[in-house]
Chain A
């Protein structure tokens, strides 16, 4: 792999040396077209919201949601566990006058 890397770097260096096509002029009416299109559509709202809050915030909210769901489920599950039958019968016998 090291040999390939070195050879790739040589190829990349050679490719960089190759001059780029030199059409640097701005096409006629390019600016007008761009400004018209920019005014026409004012961006995608969901994309702006996502970039504002960021992926990290979304991940954090998902983690909190999963954690709180787990907690709520465990509380609900524990409340369903009944005391064992033996304990119940002993309690009833002992409490008998």
Chain B
């Protein structure tokens, strides 16, 4: 059985300038950071560039990290990564406006399902669902997108989101509710463009 990775020991060694330990820490956190970056990636940013930015910030701020009882190091890393992604999303000047013609057949079925009470669940492959979710979320503001991604796609609790964002739990719930309202309005707007285009 392989030895468990000792994060705190590794952090100490990184602080004392051990590059082997730094590479080991990157290896340990790589999949976590990649998953978070993928979920909160701006449209025009490369995944690898943003991951690099996250790790650079991590090493720069490692001195300020203090171990707390019961709170794993990975929480601190998640918070830092999400904030870096949020900054990148904010830096994105324009958000897309998808029109009906921009969606493929499977995606329009999902859009129809969202807004039409009589529509049945589409039987298409889940890839279409993922694409339409990504497209709809890209139209939201960075903070709205963040809360919906954390809550509905990453299935985090409101407590966890409060820890990551620094908001209170009622604020998380309120923002999620407002974000879903906006999402519905944006989906309707995209659907209306079908009639304008015709």
Contacts and interface: CB of A to CB of B under 8 A. Distances in A.
10 contacts: A8-B180, A11-B113, A11-B132, A17-B129, A18-B126, A20-B38, A24-B30, A35-B23, A35-B59, A42-B60
Contact of A8 (B60, B126, B183): B183
Interface string A3-41: 111011111101111101000101100110111011001
B133 A12 contact: yes
Contacts of B38: 20
Contacts of B153: 12, 15-16
A31 B35 contact: no
Given A16-B155, A17-B126, A37 B56 contact: yes
B125 to A, nearest CB: 8
Interface string A40-59: 01110000100100000000
Contacts of B115: 4
Contacts of B181: 1
Q: Majority SS of interface residues in chain B?
A: helix
B130 A8 contact: no
Closest 6 CB pairs of A and B: A38-B59, A14-B129, A18-B126, A18-B130, A43-B60, A15-B133
B59 A34 contact: yes
A20 B35 CA distance: 9
A26 B26 contact: yes
Interface string B60-71: 110010000000
Q: How large is the interface on A (under 10, 10 to 19, 20 to 34, 35 or more residues)?
A: 20 to 34
B22 interface: yes
Contact of A31 (B23, B31, B64, B133): B23
Given A16-B153, A34-B56, 17 more contacts: A1-B180, A1-B181, A7-B113, A11-B110, A11-B113, A11-B129, A12-B133, A12-B152, A14-B130, A15-B129, A18-B129, A31-B22, A34-B26, A38-B55, A38-B59, A43-B60, A51-B64
A92 B27 CA distance: 92
B34 interface: yes
Q: Majority SS of interface residues in chain A?
A: helix
Nearest to B184: A4
Most buried by B among A3, A9, A16, A20: A16
A90 to B, nearest CB: 62
A33 B26 contact: no
Given A3-B117, A8-B152, A37-B56, A24 B19 contact: no
Interface string B4-40: 0000000000000001001100110011001100100
